[in-house]
Structure 1
Amino acid sequence: MGSAIGDILPLALGVAISPVPIIAAILMLLSPKAKGTSVGFLIGWVLGIVVAIVLFTLLASVIPEQDPDASKPIAGTIKILLGAALLFLALRQWRSRPKPGEDAALPKWMAAIDTMTAGKSFGLGFLLSAVNPKNLLMAIAAGVVIGTAGLTGGEITWAIVVFTLIAASTVAIPVIAYLLASKRMAAPLEGLRTWLVQNNATVMAVLLLVIGVVLIGKGLGSF
């Protein structure tokens, strides 16, 4: 189990260190309906992560079991392909970063956050965690790790819980902190939002590059 947890930690961090959902959560916390929309977004974000990791763990579990010491060509090939896809996304992110002196552009849907209801923010959180291509790749890779590690039902559950807690933490922490101390959190949240907006592409490019290389290395080691 320890090996599986170690393998999914960088993947969970890859989901957690996603500037766009963090920016969306911060914008909701600074909006007129801060409490309702931010809590709805957080619930949707967590549920989307859980659905994705459980689904791909179940799908990966149908891969034929092998001797733990034997090579795992199927799982290895999947990891290599996922790693290559992450490298492609890293290149796209790097090319999309703003030029020196240029302000980064936010997605158009963020302009509507001030008018969102709790239900719409829930749907947005679910889509950003469960349908976003980058997060899907992370969930697939984590599902392959967990589903092919030969774990018991209880160990699989713990692995999914660990993945979810880490992946959801960067959205959960500012939301919970704001709910506990809204007045003191307004200024720090605005500063964090500004930094994330300007450095979104660079952060994601470096993150995807590192995780993509790690996945390819893990995949090659499975042969």
Structure 2
Amino acid sequence: MLVVLADLLTLGVAVAISPLAIVTVTLMATAGKGRTNGTAFILGCYLFAVVFVGGLVVLGRASGTDDPDSGPHVAVDIVEIILGGALLVLAVIQWRRRGRHTTPAWMTRLDGLTIGKAFLVGVLISGPLSPKDLPLLVAAGGRISQAPLPVAEVVAVVLVFALIGVLAVAVPWLVSVLAPAQVEARLTGMRVWLIANHSVIMMVLFTILGVKLIASGVMDLAG
């Protein structure tokens, strides 16, 4: 199990480094809603990752991806290579967008969210509306489904992977819970920096992860 988690660590950290998600939690915290909306948002991110990756693992293992010589196993490797190529394309797109420091319009509406809507935003940002996270979750689901592990350990891997994916997002939430009086002073600078450097951060991540996924898929097919 530890070997599988080590293999997934890069993907998990990449999911965690999500500037838009971190900025979203930061905005909720600086608006005084870090304890409520921030908690709901993080739960949305975590539960989506668990359900989505877990669903892919169930489908994959049911089709035989845990057998190294099976067709589905090979298909997962091919999908991984395709996802890596897609991330490299996204890296080029982000590079062309560098220098744009405008705040997305939807961020200005976060203050008025209810707890339920904050949870829904967490679900959407963690996958369906994220060009970065969705391919990574798909790749993680494929990797876990290929691992020859008992069911209990597969469940543990999915839960731990999803937890790694929300660690960075949880930092501003923890600040809002443990030091609410200092939220504005501690988080405002981070929010501004993340918005200003979002494209560059994403470009670097897309490049690293694209190369990793392509290399992993090719090595698995060759080995």
Judge conservation of contact 2:18–2:169 (CA < 8 Å) in 1.
Answer: no
Give, in angstroms, the shift of residue 157 of structure 1: 1.5
- Aligned residue number for residue 87 of structure 1: 88
1:126 paired residue number: 123
Report SS of the residue matched to 2:132: helix
Task: Tell me how far apart the structure 2 counterparts of residues 190 and 125 of structure 1 sit (CA, whole Å).
Answer: 21
User: What amino acid maps onto 1:36 in structure 2?
Assistant: T
Structure 1 residues 165 and 33: alpha-carbon distance in aligned structure 2, compared to 1, 3 A threshold: closer
> 1:185 deviation in Å?
3.3
Distance 2:34 2:166 in 1: 19
1:142 to 136, 140, 143: 140
Aligned to 1:171: 169
1:26 alignment counterpart: 26
Q: After the TM superposition, which of the residue ranges 24-33 and 201-210 deviates more from structure 2?
A: 24-33
Matches within 5 A, 1:1-223: 1-64=1-64, 65-67=66-68, 72-98=73-99, 104-131=101-128, 132-223=130-221
User: Is the Cα contact below 8 Å between 1:75 and 1:222 reproduced in 2?
Assistant: no
What secondary structure is seen at the aligned counterpart in 2 of 1:48?
helix
Q: Is the 8 A contact 1:76 1:221 kept in 2?
A: no
Alpha-carbon offset, residue 118 of structure 1 = 1.4
Deviation at 1:63, TM superposition (A): 3.8
After TM superposition, the runs of 4+ consecutive aligned structure 1 residues lying more than 3 A away are none
Amino acid at match of 1:111: T
| Aligned equivalents of 1:169, 1:135: Cα separation in 2 | 14
CA deviation map 1:177-205 (0-9, x unaligned) = 21111112321211110110101110011
CA distance in 2, matches of 1:163, 1:20: 20
Residues 178/32 of structure 1: CA separation in 2 closer, same or farther (3 Å cut): closer
Counterpart contact for 1:51–1:130, Cα < 8 Å? no
- Aligned alpha-carbon RMSD (Å): 1.6
* Structure 2: stretches of 5+ with no match in the other structure: none
Cα deviation 1:146-201 (Å, max 9, x = unaligned): 00111111211221122111101111222122111111232121111011010111
Q: Which blocks of at least 5 consecutive residues in structure 1 are unaligned?
A: none
Q: Deviations over 1:28-59 (max 9, x none)?
A: 10114443221221221211221221122222
User: Mean Cα displacement is larger for which, 47-56 or 29-38?
Assistant: 29-38
Once residues 158 and 33 of structure 1 are traced to their aligned partners in structure 2, the CA distance between those partners, rounded to angstroms, is 31
Deviation at 1:67, TM superposition (A): 4.6
Residue type of the alignment partner of 2:44: G
How many angstroms apart in 2 are the aligned matches of 1:74 and 1:215? 14
Partner-residue secondary structure (3-state), 2:98: coil
2:30–2:183: 8 Å Cα contact kept in structure 1? Answer: no
How many angstroms apart in 2 are the aligned matches of 1:184 and 1:32? 11
- CA contact 1:93–1:202 (8 Å) conserved in 2: yes
Corresponding pairs, count: 216
1:65-112 Cα distance to aligned partner (Å, 9 max, x none): 4358xxx532221110111111111111111111xxxx6012111010
